[in-house]
Structure 1
Amino acid sequence: MATINKKRKVDCEGRRFKDGWKLDYFFTEVRNNCVCLICKETVAVFKEYNVKRHYQKLHAAMYDKITGKERSEKLKQLEASLISQQQYFARARESNENATKASYEVAALIAKHSKPFTEGEFIKDCVMTIVKKICPEKQQEFAKVCLARNTVARRIEEVSSDIKRQLRDKGREFDFFSLACDESTDASDTAQLLIFLRGVDNEMNVTEELLDLRSLKSQTRGTDLFSSVCAAVDDMQLPWNKISGIITDGAPSMTGERSGLATLISNKVSEKGGNAVKLHCIIHQQVLCAKHLQYKHVMKPVIKTINFIRSRALCHHQFQQFLSEIHAEYGDVVYHTDYHTMAQSRFCTVALLLVDITKHLNALNTSLQGPDAVISQLYSHIKAFGTKLKLFERHLSQSQPNTAHFSALQEIMTRFPQSNVASEDFAAIEKEIAIFSSPFSVDTDDVPDHLQLELIELQCDAESRSRHQQLSLANFYRQLDKDRFREI
């Protein structure tokens, strides 16, 4: 009991290092430890008796004869030696840490680009070759970066685990989140279910991540998909009552009224006290619209011709030479290409019309993708495209079709020169003034062709309409997205 009380008393004394010990006993303080500058040993307690006893027992015979200015210089030398030693170990530790960080980052790049794990060794060989030529003195540091196959595999697993941990931590802060599911088959004919997560917290910070990738070894019924989604959600410890929506493609196993994935998830969310909206993926919707285009009679001979050219070396070589002679925009033709040089005919007209429509569909597809997209923005793109289709229909149904928005079709249509009458009278530019001052109220049929598509996009954008009402005209155009509304 006496021993315990004595230890507690020493711990509570609050002893501190005294500056006088430096010159008297050649001691200093390092990270709350009393360290001898001569032998680098540590004294357990900040107590002058202990410090003095250590000095007199080990160093007094040699250092007591050093006095005055000479003793001060000796103290500076010993302190400098200790600092140098500390920096050496610090640099060594920092070098090892940097090598480990580099190994992790290279492993992450290998995983990101879907490269084999053995690529790490090849990358290191390349780096070492460069280092030997440019900075040979750094070879030892670069050699510390371990990129062996097993190391890369272990690094990727650790990075994956850390990402899951971060996502699990963020998931606890979600006020609501939605799930998007897409099922496809890989190269080995194994069905893969991709589950995407989008969550938002009370600060309106949005998180978008791939929640999980689940292999479906047997069947792909709605119940099988539901089991995989349940396992992914429970594994990340996400609360079911915070699911606000489930988005799927049009597959029957996804959208079945009774046993479809969306219905099963919605039912479970209801049981947990929540309410999940079932939605069809907006990108899949526009793909379904594209399938309504009846173009098999055009695509079949086009694909057959292209495959004929590519499957025969001589034909392929002659075709490339032909393209070179006519200075074609494309230097070659690929399998299943939708566009190639054809003579003017009805078949050609339909084919080129298809090319132009496909370009517009591709532009729509691109606008529906990307991070941080809000549903109102996506819907405005779909809404604008519907209005564009009506405009296209009106243009092409005229006795003299207007091909302003069909560049490929325009190449084979007869062009009539238009005379532009210039006038400095304001009445002559009254229409342009109206477009500029009231872009949301003008009829798209009454504006120049090069402005029509952008004007439709602008009129369908609720945020831009609101800013037009609130801001002055100059400020409205000043903040307008110049990349999206380049012509306007």
Structure 2
Amino acid sequence: MAEDVKKTLIERIKSSSYYSIQLDETTDVADLANLMVYVRYEHDGAAQEEFLFCQPLETRTTAELIFQLLDAFVQENGLEWKKCVGVCTDGARAMTGRHSGVAARIKEVAPEMRWTHCSIHREALAVKKMPDGLKSVLDSAVKSVNFIKARPMQSRLFQVLCDEMGSEHVQLLLHTEVRWLSRGKVLSRLFELHREVQVFLEDKNFPLSDVFYDTVWLSQLAYLYDIFSHLNDLNLGLQGLSINVFDVQDKINTMLKKLELFQIKVKAGDVSAFPAIESFLSENELTLDDGVRDNMVAHLVSLRQQFRQYFPVMTEDNSWMRSPFSMEASGLPKNLTVAEQESVIELSCYETLKPAFRKQSLVDFWIKQHRIPRPV
């Protein structure tokens, strides 16, 4: 059955005028490196996205090895590199090296290919930087969680304690840098169980047990829980089928404006955008500590700067694709030939296409344009 599915997929890719691939080098539970490849192609007038293949990387994960695996799959299955118009990877040197990276090697056999830096990876890079005060809180939180979770006996004893204290959840989540959503989920569960963790770590004489009595530290933990919840929502919004560069830019711009709003509110002492810290302060009859406020503001400023660094403002060259029916001759994209500009003008005047434009995804609408007969 699996072979039939693969055969059908290969035939569809062959019949498509073009395709793009996404590469992900990942490590499995046995600590073995694997290359996972996804493909986007055109079928029946719509963009399709599928898992293409997975191959173990048995030696060092060099650019040449990764390209050889890709090339072998393409050749063995009768695919054509010249139809590959896009490659999406993370920003690792093996993938992006100008002369010998995977993208550069693919460019040699697929001249029309354009490389894209994975938006999820960019978001993960953008959120890494934070003020020292918050970084210290995060590090202590991760050490505390790992102290409990990394030892089976500790984890079981902690579960018993949570049961005895009537906790809704009885397990902490293990932090890992690999999983994009890990940090937010770890902080969420840790803050929820911080009283249970406090009791457990104190009983074990763990050096960091005292921080769970510190309301300033707990306030910052609550803030980290809140902000990473917002960032996790963004991360999930960048995933899914038919996401395109315009969708990514819209979601990033939305986050940038939210961060600016949060910054203004927090600077004025208003934490209503952050329910965990707001609830913590209210329940303990506390006011927002000046140092915590300053750390929050500094972090929000840093996030805005980092997001703009990893997601630069897009040029207007392709913005006409989002609103082709309002295009004026004076505003035609300069990066198109005269013949292409004429085609844009023609399309902008076809009122009958407007309903399809509103109903279909942007990608599917433009895929269909070469199939639509023009009125005489």
TM-score tier (shorter): 0.5 to 0.7
CA shift, 1:223, in A, is 1.1
Matching of residues 304-343 of structure 1 within 5 Å? 304-308=143-147, 311-312=153-154, 314=157, 316-322=159-165, 324=166, 328-336=167-175, 337-338=186-187, 339-340=190-191, 341=194, 342-343=212-213
Would the aligned equivalents of 2:47 and 2:242 in 1 still touch at CA under 8 Å?
yes
The answer for the alignment partner of 1:286 in structure 2 is 123
Q: Are residue 207 (structure 1) and residue 48 (structure 2) matched?
A: yes
Would the aligned equivalents of 1:246 and 1:266 in 2 still touch at CA under 8 Å?
no
Q: What letter is aligned with 1:262?
A: A
For residues 253 and 231 of structure 1, the distance between their equivalents in structure 2, rounded to whole angstroms, comes to: 18
Unaligned runs of 5+ in 1: 1-158, 417-461, 470-478, 480-488
- What does the per-residue CA deviation read over 1:284-312, in whole Å, with 9 as the maximum and x for residues that have no partner? 11111121235441133323434555644
Matching of residues 114-153 of structure 1 within 5 Å? none
CA shift, 1:261, in A, is 0.5
Match for residue 413 of structure 1 among 251, 260, 281: 281
The answer for the alignment partner of 1:177 in structure 2 is 19
Match for residue 246 of structure 2 among 366, 369, 376: 376
Would the aligned equivalents of 2:24 and 2:90 in 1 still touch at CA under 8 Å?
yes
Unaligned runs of 5+ in 2: 176-185, 195-211, 286-318, 327-358, 360-376
Q: What letter is aligned with 1:410?
A: E
- What does the per-residue CA deviation read over 1:188-238, in whole Å, with 9 as the maximum and x for residues that have no partner? 44321111110125x532121122212222221111111111112223322
RMSD: 2.9
For residues 333 and 189 of structure 1, the distance between their equivalents in structure 2, rounded to whole angstroms, comes to: 22
SS in 2 for 1:411: helix
SS in 2 for 1:412: helix
Would the aligned equivalents of 1:352 and 1:408 in 2 still touch at CA under 8 Å?
yes
Which structure has more relative contact order (CA 8 Å, sep 6+)? It is 2
TM-score norm. by structure 2 comes to 0.61
Q: Are residue 402 (structure 1) and residue 243 (structure 2) matched?
A: no
- What does the per-residue CA deviation read over 1:145-193, in whole Å, with 9 as the maximum and x for residues that have no partner? xxxxxxxxxxxxxx12111211122123212211111112233443211
For residues 306 and 187 of structure 1, the distance between their equivalents in structure 2, rounded to whole angstroms, comes to: 20
Match for residue 249 of structure 1 among 87, 90, 95: 90
Q: 1:354 to 1:290 in 2, by over 3 A?
A: same
Match for residue 268 of structure 1 among 92, 109, 113: 109
CA shift, 1:364, in A, is 0.9
Q: What letter is aligned with 2:275?
A: S
Q: 1:409 to 1:261 in 2, by over 3 A?
A: same
Q: 1:191 to 1:259 in 2, by over 3 A?
A: same
Match for residue 301 of structure 1 among 140, 144, 147: 140
CA shift, 1:265, in A, is 0.7
Q: 1:189 to 1:331 in 2, by over 3 A?
A: closer
Q: 1:200 to 1:379 in 2, by over 3 A?
A: farther
CA shift, 1:242, in A, is 1.6
Q: What letter is aligned with 2:38?
A: F
The answer for the alignment partner of 1:353 in structure 2 is 223
SS in 1 for 2:228: helix
Deviating 4+ runs (over 6 angstroms): none
Would the aligned equivalents of 2:159 and 2:170 in 1 still touch at CA under 8 Å?
no
SS in 2 for 1:207: strand
Q: 1:318 to 1:389 in 2, by over 3 A?
A: same
Match for residue 225 of structure 1 among 42, 46, 66: 66
CA shift, 1:356, in A, is 0.6
- What does the per-residue CA deviation read over 1:254-304, in whole Å, with 9 as the maximum and x for residues that have no partner? 01111110111122212xxxx111110011111111212354411333234
Q: 1:242 to 1:306 in 2, by over 3 A?
A: closer
The answer for the alignment partner of 1:240 in structure 2 is 81
Would the aligned equivalents of 1:248 and 1:280 in 2 still touch at CA under 8 Å?
yes
The answer for the alignment partner of 1:166 in structure 2 is 8
- What does the per-residue CA deviation read over 1:108-140, in whole Å, with 9 as the maximum and x for residues that have no partner? xxxxxxxxxxxxxxxxxxxxxxxxxxxxxxxxx
Q: What letter is aligned with 2:109?
A: K
CA shift, 1:332, in A, is 4.4
Would the aligned equivalents of 1:344 and 1:412 in 2 still touch at CA under 8 Å?
no
For residues 174 and 237 of structure 1, the distance between their equivalents in structure 2, rounded to whole angstroms, comes to: 13
The answer for the alignment partner of 1:362 in structure 2 is 232
SS in 1 for 2:15: coil
Instruction: Determine which structure has more spread, i.e. the larger CA radius of gyration.
Output: 1
SS in 1 for 2:106: helix
Would the aligned equivalents of 1:309 and 1:319 in 2 still touch at CA under 8 Å?
no
